[in-house]
Structure 1
Amino acid sequence: MDQITPRLTQAAVWTPDGIDIRTLDIPELAPGDVLVRIDLATVCGSDLHTVSGRRPAACPSVLGHEAVGKVAAIGDGNRPAVVGDGGSLVVGDRVVWSVTVPCQQCPRCASGFTAKCIGVRKVGHESARGDWVLSGSYAEHIVLPRGTAIARVPDAMPDSVAAPAACATATVMAALEAAGALTGKRVLIFGAGMLGVTAAAASAECKAATVRVIDQDPLRQRLSRAFGAVDDDGDSTDVAIDFTGAAAAVQSAFGRLDIGGRLVLAGSVTPGPPISVDPERVVRRWLTITGIHNYEPRHLAQAIAFLGATGEQYPWAELVDTPVPLADLTRVLAPTPPGILRSSVSPHTCS
């Protein structure tokens, strides 16, 4: 390994009784494994759903999958490649990493769907009783197994801007890829959370003719205007993207599609009531319905590039609240304050 690895670390373990701050052993790194010292972790909505019981998950576990940190050690053997720039990882690199860790050998991986790998493992989703205890970012350190997509972060990019790239921003990059070319298109986005406002800005940067956003929260609706969106006018659209997962929103989005329209579903990640799809309408109007879940390594690289290119144009950092110490994680595993789309945790900050 490149340097002496710390032996112990603090981690917030989610248990049936709540969050328990524990001192855990840092395991010996296998070839290609990477140990990262977490600088900042943001709180994704899926973790809020997990602790509230709306989303099934391994328990006990170390949650958290949106974070930025510095490489502290690398297991012996070949250095992992960095997505985006093609270089090799070195100790001290400032990085973000993918949510999914694929096997790279199954038919799904071979066909380009590594995010849906048959044996996929996921950052912040693994059991603390298994062989990957330090799998989440609500900890001082995380172990990234060989095969995790890792991207370097520019020094000038604030932690609060970089951390959401690992989930929200990269997912948006995948959604926009599924939406196709947006130049001159009318785009309608359902949901003005972190993904929705990011998609608004990304659509505007893709030269969409209009970017409209719908959210039931008036404050979030107004917030989206700072990211290139305008309020909905009720007209038809060329592209609709749903981040809410609400059946009523998906039904509405389908009904708004113009000739040749495309509907991208990204928020329907839990069971819900079905919607009505008229096959004749799909055929006669040349409509397309597609979905995305998680993302591919290229999308992580695109996320960092996008945030770097738009850092002075959009107030990304204002979307993330002031970080709390790891000991106060329970306080931010709750709905965010008005006007804030992400709470955050600074694991190495004392209470």
Structure 2
Amino acid sequence: MDPRTTDLTTDTPATGRTTVALWEGGDAVRLVEVPLPEPGPGEVLVRIRLATVCGSDRHSVSGRRAAPVPSVLGHEAVGDVVATGPGGAAAAANGARDGRPLAEGDRVVWGVTVACGTCDRCAAGRTAKCRAVRKVGHEGFASAWPLSGTYAQHIVLPRGATIARVPATLPDELASPAGCATATVMATIEAAGPLTGRRVLISGAGMLGITAVAAARAAGAAQVLVTDPDRARLDLAVRFGATSTHGVDAPDGSGSLGPVDVAIELSGASSAVARCLDALDVGGRLVLAGSVAPAPSVPLDAERVVRGWLTIAGVHNYEPRHLRAALDLLARTRDTVPWHELVTPAVGLSQVGRLLTGPSGVAPRAAVVP
């Protein structure tokens, strides 16, 4: 796309061009100007209003997660529709809350995955595991989808992307995480089954865990126990509705919990997975969503699973309905849950490199305004 370096203080691209934060491997991130494309068939061009920094992008930069180089990272954002290609508005209507085609100026969020819609997995309702899946912020800059990330002034959303209008009552900083963290949590809540009157354990009090506390309470959970080694995170969990907390201080993560009806594991630590299994009461259900990287195996007592009628479910990414559920949750709880505490004040696009490589902030999400 003929990238060229731009002045890091430039906020407005030249006519017909846009600025992206191009990750070039390691800790190398620089701003470049590239041509602003016309959206093709089924595509939607969006101007980014605000993006939030997911921990998975920090993992890419640190080498913990494989990613194409160079690329435009970032997948959580909210933006305004600038233009749609032939069929683009209609193709995006499946994610719109009222089913109407998208129009220029609509404020929208979008899903992480882009599915083909025709393979056996898509037909079975597992579009997140489409055999030809592509992901926002995960595609190489030299690929057919260079403007795939949200650390940029514009993004192109291809045919197959799930796009949803944002309710007017939701500020940008609440809407942005909906496309990753909040929607993923709604998938775990669905996998957990009915929560009314249930005892719920949430393992890990990062962005997903804190969001899961609010979601579980909104779903009617009677008790929500949260575990995490960080005291500040546990205090935040209480403000989001946790009824009790447990600091995991032992090196091996030991410590008895429960009994609980549902455990949602979001940390990815093997010791935490084992602890959640041990905490389940008869008929209990464990939902695993944090184990997205190689980790030591977890011993499984098959007899206990059988005799205890236990259920273990895995959740990775989410389906279009979960994005809509995320927006519904945020809209319903906007005035009762302190969502603003999860996102730091936004900085400019030139600061993306620092956010990806520097120490994590106090809030779970940093924000960028391109």
Please say whether Structure 1 and Structure 2 have the same fold, judged by a TM-score greater than 0.5.
Answer: yes
Separation of aligned partners in 2, 1:82 and 1:37: 20
> Do residues 130 (structure 1) and 139 (structure 2) align?
no
Which residue of the partner structure matches residue 196 of structure 1? Answer: 209
Q: Which amino acid aligns with 1:336?
A: S
Determine which of 62, 82, 91 is the counterpart of 2:72: 62
> Do residues 282 (structure 1) and 294 (structure 2) align?
no
> Do residues 81 (structure 1) and 93 (structure 2) align?
yes
Partners of 1:82 and 1:152 within 8 A in 2 = no
Q: How far is the alpha carbon of 1:31 from its aligned partner?
A: 1.4
Unaligned runs of 5+ in 2: 1-14, 247-256
Q: How far is the alpha carbon of 1:230 from its aligned partner?
A: 2.5
Q: Compare 194-203 and 136-145 and name the one that shifted more.
A: 194-203
Q: Please, what is the CA RMSD of the aligned residues?
A: 1.3
> Do residues 268 (structure 1) and 272 (structure 2) align?
no
Determine which of 122, 126, 144 is the counterpart of 1:113: 126
Separation of aligned partners in 1, 2:189 and 2:88: 34
Determine which of 10, 15, 20 is the counterpart of 1:11: 20
Q: How far is the alpha carbon of 1:88 from its aligned partner?
A: 1.1
Separation of aligned partners in 2, 1:78 and 1:97: 14
Partners of 2:25 and 2:61 within 8 A in 1 = no
Which residue of the partner structure matches residue 346 of structure 1? Answer: 369
Separation of aligned partners in 2, 1:42 and 1:173: 18
Q: How far is the alpha carbon of 1:281 from its aligned partner?
A: 0.5
Separation of aligned partners in 2, 1:76 and 1:251: 51
Partners of 1:48 and 1:335 within 8 A in 2 = no
Unaligned runs of 5+ in 1: 1-5
Runs of 4+, deviation exceeding 4 Å? none
Q: How far is the alpha carbon of 1:78 from its aligned partner?
A: 5.5
Partners of 2:234 and 2:245 within 8 A in 1 = no
Q: Deviations over 1:201-223 (max 9, x none)?
A: 11111111101101111000110
Separation of aligned partners in 2, 1:315 and 1:298: 24
Question: What SS class does the counterpart of residue 98 from structure 1 fall into?
Answer: strand
> Do residues 299 (structure 1) and 322 (structure 2) align?
yes
Q: How far is the alpha carbon of 1:256 from its aligned partner?
A: 0.6
Determine which of 96, 117, 121 is the counterpart of 2:109: 96
Which residue of the partner structure matches residue 315 of structure 1? Answer: 338
> Do residues 336 (structure 1) and 345 (structure 2) align?
no
The residue correspondences of 1:116-195 to structure 2 (distance < 5 A) are 116-195=129-208
Q: Deviations over 1:184-210 (max 9, x none)?
A: 110000011111111101111111110
Q: How far is the alpha carbon of 1:231 from its aligned partner?
A: 2.4
Q: Which amino acid aligns with 1:275?
A: V
Percent identity over paired residues: 56
Partners of 1:329 and 1:345 within 8 A in 2 = yes
TM-score (norm 1): 0.95
Partners of 2:44 and 2:88 within 8 A in 1 = no
Which residue of the partner structure matches residue 47 of structure 1? Answer: 57
Q: Which amino acid aligns with 2:341?
A: E
Separation of aligned partners in 2, 1:206 and 1:32: 36
Question: What SS class does the counterpart of residue 149 from structure 1 fall into?
Answer: strand
